[in-house]
Structure 1
Amino acid sequence: MRELVYYVAVSLDGYIAAPDDSFDDFPMQGDHIDMILRDYTDTIPTLGLRATGLTPDLSRFDTVLMGWNTYKAGGIHPPEGPYGHLRQYVFSRNHGGVEPAVTLTGDDPVEVVRKLKSERGSGIWLAGGGILASAVAGEIDRLILKVNPILLGSGKRLFAERAYSPIGSRLVASTPFESGVVVNEYAVDR
């Protein structure tokens, strides 16, 4: 069965974006970027792939899930969507106007995730945001958090407020970088 992986950058105080949905405060240079380009090529946006000449092999992820704010934070997307090499799902009940290659859905995120998990393929990347992550928290199999050495103070949380329901996990890898970013990988206990 495929895994749902919440792979996201986060501040030390638990924010994945600034109040305006931007990621500008997270370091975009440093040795952690080399790791992303090498090990997480599947997560590089279409425009970034064109600029770098990299080709994703889709061995890590072949599907991406985004909430509306995460999708819109990328600005204007090419016709094939922000991640044209992946199957792209955007969750919203109130918005429209996505590229033809992007599936916009108002369906229950848990049902969509369960259906995707039952299909063949590589991993399912939960790119954000916190509201969507909270909705599917019980379906997340792995968290890969790029912890950035910054305190934002406010913004979009890693997980939005949800009913009290603890979900345990265990640290399976932690890689510090000279940039100050630490990548922590957690397997969710089932």
Structure 2
Amino acid sequence: MRKLVYFVAATLDGFIAGPDGSDPTGPGGFWSPSEDYIRHLVEEYPETLPTPARAALGITAEGTRFDTVVEGRKSYEIGLAVGVTNAFAHLRHLVFARTLTESPDPDVELVAGDPVAKVRELKRADSGKDIWLVGGGELAGALHPEIDRMIVKLSPLTIGTGIPLFGRTAGFAPTTWELTEHTTLKGGAAFLTYDRNPATSEPATR
């Protein structure tokens, strides 16, 4: 069965975005990734780069990890605000939104129903590649029981306040994770891969 993987950048103090929810690496953002960070993404996770960035960098590799990306409406609207209707046109792209009634892009699937039920459906349709949860925090909080793996791109900075890893409304659900892989870059960022520990965690209901 495919895994739901929360692949996300976070600060040392556990935030994925500033208080306004804007992209921390976008124009005017508070974090400018180092060259070795970008190089590591290109080499190891090329499918997670936005389609325009892939074109600019001449990236054609499909990648071996993900063929589907899911995100929440607020995360999706960051791209819409700058005229990008599908930041991941090279992947199957689903957006969970109850207030959007018509997709701005024919290749972006809007899902108004229960995100847990939809993700379970996606997991059963085994394609050989996993499902990337790009964010935001609110959707990650709703999908917490279904997340099988987290790959945290830990940035070497603190911001004090902002959008937490699992949003501001996530419930109390202690869960342990096993560190299965880690890469530390000279620029200070670290890629930390954690798998849900089934021995000590409440298993997700299938």
Contact persistence 1:30–1:178 (CA under 8 A)? no
Match of residue 120 from structure 1: 126
Post-superposition offset of 1:71: 1.0
TM-score (norm 2): 0.87
Query: Which residue does the alignment assign to 1:22?
Result: 23
Q: Equivalent residues in 2 for 1:2-21 (5 A)?
A: 2-20=2-20, 21=22
**What's the counterpart of residue 138 of structure 1?**
145
Cα deviation, 1:129-178, whole Å, max 9, x if unaligned, reads 11000101011010000110111122211102322222221111121111
Identity of aligned residues (%): 38
State how far apart, in whole Å, the 2-side matches of 1:153 and 1:68 are. Answer: 25
Match of 2:70 among 65, 72, 89: 65
1:27-66 matches, cutoff 5 A: 27-66=32-71
3-state SS, counterpart of residue 8 of structure 1: strand
Q: Separation in 2 of the partners of 1:153 and 1:72?
A: 24
- Displacement of 1:22 after TM fit? 2.3
Point out where structure 1 has 5 or more consecutive residues left out of the alignment. Answer: none
| Residue number in structure 2 paired with 1:184 | 192
- Which residue is 1:173 aligned to? 181
What secondary structure does 1:150 align onto?
coil
Q: Greater CA deviation, 28-37 or 6-15?
A: 28-37
Match for 1:17: what amino acid? Answer: A
SS of equivalent to 1:77: coil
Question: Aligned residue pairs: how many?
Answer: 188
Q: CA deviation at 1:58?
A: 4.1
RMSD over equivalenced CA pairs, Å: 1.3
Is this contact kept in 2: 1:8–1:146, CA < 8 A?
Answer: yes
Q: TM-score, normalised by structure 1?
A: 0.94
The whole-number CA distance in structure 1 between the counterparts of 2:171 and 2:11 is: 23
Pairwise CA distance, 1:61: 0.3
Distance in 1, Cα, partners of 2:18 & 2:197: 30
Given that residues 8 and 16 in structure 2 are in contact (C-alpha distance below 8 angstroms), is that contact kept between their aligned partners in structure 1? yes
Gaps of 5+ in 2: 199-206
Partner of 1:88: 93
